Amino acid sequence: MKSPRMLMVSLLTAGLVLAAGCSSPDSRIKSNQAAFDSWSYEVQSKVKTGQVAVGFTPEMVQMALGEPAGKSLRTTAEGTAEVWTYVESKSHISVGIGMGSYSGGSSYAGGVAVGNGGGWRDDEKMRVIFSGGKVVAIEERKK
């Protein structure tokens, strides 16, 4: 059986792994500093705060919001547009405890799981629509 201290170390490690996987506008800006520096003050201000606006390029949107959860095409009478979908992920933590016996002895164990598989629930929060290489519309879910 793991000691409480080992369990705490395992939980902290899982939390650090999850946090490391998340990127922020600041980390994306640092990775693309030259492009960021070439944009106007207004664009830079929005990107820094994770906002997008009509007229943004795909590079600007990606730096502000990160990789979209999905990309699709929308065809209308006006033509074809690319739609990027962003979701808000909420993690769930599962805790399990088990007991058993064998040949006169007994055992018990426990575990904690944090993951992005079936335990995650994704809620769509935004759609960014591009046409001609620029954002032409932004759809945000009302809260």
- For 85-137, the pLDDT digits (tens) are 999 866 556 666 666 666 667 666 666 655 554 444 457 889 999 999 999 99
Amino acid 121: pLDDT: 45
Domain range list for the chain: 4-140
Q: For 41-67, what is each residue's pLDDT tens digit?
A: 999 999 999 999 999 999 999 999 999
Amino acid 105: pLDDT: 72
End-to-end CA distance of the chain: 44
- d(CA 7, CA 111) in angstroms, rounded, equals 8
Q: For 18-45, what is each residue's pLDDT tens digit?
A: 444 468 999 999 999 999 999 999 999 9
Amino acid 65: pLDDT: 96
Query: Taking the model in full, what pTM does it have?
Result: 0.65
- The answer to whether 87 and 127 have CB atoms below 8 angstroms apart is no
Instruction: List the beta bridge partners of residue 70.
Output: 85
Amino acid 20: pLDDT: 42
- The answer to whether 11 and 112 have CB atoms below 8 angstroms apart is yes
Radius of gyration of the chain (CA): 22
The helix/strand/coil state of 81 is strand
